Amino acid sequence: QAIILVHWLLTVWGCMNNMFPASYPWGNFSVLAVGIWAIVQRDSLDAIMMFLTGLLLTVLTDIIHISVFYPSRGYLTDARRFSIGMAIFSLLLKPVSCYFVYQMYRERGGE
């Protein structure tokens, strides 16, 4: 639950400045919705595996979004700096989250 809350907050802060296209919030929030499904259905291996796969895919898409849409020096305001900082922080936390989600997958009987 803490993983969902932290990534939700960082994604909201990352989307504050409309710097990223709509695919950034759609991708991240849909993976978080699958994470909520994984929390609700504690006996489902499919839900936790889809959440883990989604987190891994958003690592790749976040790298692409940040690298392609990083503003040039003249357009980097404080609000954009904060927004992109939160997106980068979320990206850096995702491998740690993947590790914990994988541990939950193993606890539920996954191989």
Domain count, the chain: 1
Q: What is the pLDDT of residue 107?
A: 87
Q: What is the pLDDT of residues 66-110, one digit of tens each?
A: 999 888 877 888 888 899 999 999 999 999 999 999 998 888 887
**Any idea which residue has 């989604």 for tokens?**
54
Q: What is the pLDDT of residues 22-43, one digit of tens each?
A: 999 999 999 999 999 999 988 8
- The residue range of the domain holding 98 is 1-108
CA distance 59 to 81: 20
Q: How many CA atoms lie within 13 A of 12 on its CB side?
A: 7
